């Protein structure tokens, strides 16, 4: 019960409060959700990703092990989402949303606070979570974006759309500046920090505004339930098997195992809204998986302490 209350009060409750604020504002003012989505995708998110990549420092050996794990883990989740999608006989757009909901994880505004709370005495835990955030951003704007725009565009159009995204430029520039240890002029650093700090709050308010337009009666359909099962149950089971096979231990094992239990990424909903691919379904999955994760994350944290603490 102690872990349950800590995770809920310090992570889930703040997220839900922000969603409720967004819903209330939408009911009162009827925001232009497309404009808000563009603000996030083309301005706030690139700034946040750039800062994360630019400031991340981690041992090369650990980085290699974590990267290998993340590649295999993500590939396994892709296979799981494909198999479950075939089982449910989903149409193309629903299949895209379903796959993203299992593969794309909320490792940013959910995962980082959890890591900071659990590993306050060991910075490595938080550093690992930042690596996962970067990896998930790359996944979102490669695999996740491909799933959505492949429903309406050709392969060449997908490639063009990907490389036009400011976030891709932010990833490359941030990595190069990190590697070469290039400083940022204060006149640029201050506005970038302002934009990066605004990302989470605006993104959650936008998601809440989306949710305000939903018919809650549809939230318990089988697609949403299967999606949540894949993300919150199958994900940690795969992670445990992979961590065991790779012989990972200690804080690295704990961090990766806990991260596998986080809910569906909010970015999957933002992208669905941006490209108008089942945005209501995507928002419902994010909401439902976030609420249910209060229990699953608690159990995973408890198990990680027993096995690797």
**Residue 146: CB partners within 8 Å, gap ≥ 6?**
158, 162
pLDDT at position 266 is 84
Look at the block and give the residue holding tokens 């019960």: 1
Is the pLDDT reported for residue 65 higher than 70? Answer: yes
Q: How confident is the model at residue 152 (pLDDT cuts 50, 70, 90)?
A: low
List pLDDT tens digits, range 171-207: 889 989 988 999 999 999 999 999 999 988 898 898 8
Query: What does the pLDDT average to over 51-70?
Result: 85
Is the pLDDT reported for residue 4 higher than 70? Answer: no
Taking CA atoms, 262 is separated from 3, 40, 96, 139, in Å, by: 15, 22, 20, 16
Percentage of the residues of the chain whose pLDDT score is greater than 90 = 43
| DSSP for residue 41 | I
Query: What does the pLDDT average to over 24-38?
Result: 91
- Higher-pLDDT residue of 59, 284: 284
Rounded Cα–Cα distance for residues 140 and 268 (Å) = 7
Taking CA atoms, 19 is separated from 139, 151, 212, 283, in Å, by: 24, 29, 9, 11
For residues 110 and 15, the answer to whether their CB atoms sit within 8 Å is: yes
Q: How confident is the model at residue 81 (pLDDT cuts 50, 70, 90)?
A: very high
Number of Cβ within a 10 Å radius of residue 130: 20
Is the pLDDT reported for residue 82 higher than 70? Answer: yes
Rounded Cα–Cα distance for residues 131 and 236 (Å) = 18
Rounded Cα–Cα distance for residues 174 and 50 (Å) = 5
Is the pLDDT reported for residue 1 higher than 90? Answer: no
pLDDT at position 5 is 77
Q: What is 2-308's CATH number?
A: 1.20.1530.20
- Number of residues assigned to the chain: 309
Is the Cα torsion angle 189, 202, 44, 227 positive or negative in sign?
A: positive
Number of Cβ within a 10 Å radius of residue 216: 9
Single pTM value for the model:
0.84
Rounded Cα–Cα distance for residues 239 and 258 (Å) = 9
Please give the angle made by the CA atoms of 91, 97 and 101, to the nearest 5 degrees: 135
pLDDT at position 210 is 82
For residues 270 and 252, the answer to whether their CB atoms sit within 8 Å is: no
List pLDDT tens digits, range 103-147: 999 987 788 878 877 887 777 888 888 889 888 888 887 888 888
Rounded Cα–Cα distance for residues 102 and 68 (Å) = 19
Taking CA atoms, 255 is separated from 63, 106, 131, 263, in Å, by: 13, 14, 11, 15
Question: Residue 99 class from Cβ within 10 Å (0-12 exposed, 13-18 middle, 19+ buried)?
Answer: buried
| Mean of per-residue pLDDT scores for the chain | 87
Domain assignments of the chain as residue spans, ordered by start: 2-308
């Amino acid at each position: 019960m102690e872990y349950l209350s800590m995770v809920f009060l310090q992570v889930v409750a703040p997220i839900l409060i922000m969603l409720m604020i967004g819903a209330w504002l939408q009911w009162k003012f009827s925001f232009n959700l497309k404009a808000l989505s563009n603000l996030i995708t083309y301005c706030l998110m690139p700034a946040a990703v750039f800062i994360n990549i630019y400031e991340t420092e981690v041992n090369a050996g650990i980085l290699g092990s974590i990267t290998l794990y993340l590649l295999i883990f993500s590939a396994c989740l892709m296979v799981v989402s494909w198999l479950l999608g075939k089982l449910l006989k989903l149409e193309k757009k629903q299949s895209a949303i379903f796959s993203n909901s299992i593969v794309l994880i909320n490792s940013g505004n959910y995962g980082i606070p959890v890591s900071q709370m659990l590993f306050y005495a060991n910075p490595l835990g938080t550093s690992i979570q930042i690596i996962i955030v970067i990896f998930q951003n790359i996944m979102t704007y490669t695999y996740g974006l491909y799933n959505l725009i492949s429903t309406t565009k050709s392969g060449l159009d997908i490639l063009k759309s990907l490389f036009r995204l400011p976030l891709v430029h932010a990833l490359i520039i941030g990595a190069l500046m990190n590697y070469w240890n290039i400083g940022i002029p204060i006149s640029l650093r201050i506005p970038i920090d302002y934009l990066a700090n605004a990302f989470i709050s605006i993104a959650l308010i936008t998601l809440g505004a989306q949710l305000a337009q939903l018919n809650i009666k549809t939230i318990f359909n089988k697609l949403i339930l299967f999606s949540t099962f894949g993300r919150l149950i199958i994900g940690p089971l795969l992670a445990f098997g992979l961590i065991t096979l790779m012989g990972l231990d200690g804080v690295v094992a704990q961090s990766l195992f806990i991260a596998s239990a986080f809910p569906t990424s909010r970015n999957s909903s933002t992208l669905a809204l941006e490209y108008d691919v089942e945005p209501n379904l995507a928002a419902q999955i994010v909401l439902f998986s976030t609420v249910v994760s209060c229990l699953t994350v608690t159990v995973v944290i408890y198990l990680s302490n027993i096995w690797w603490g």
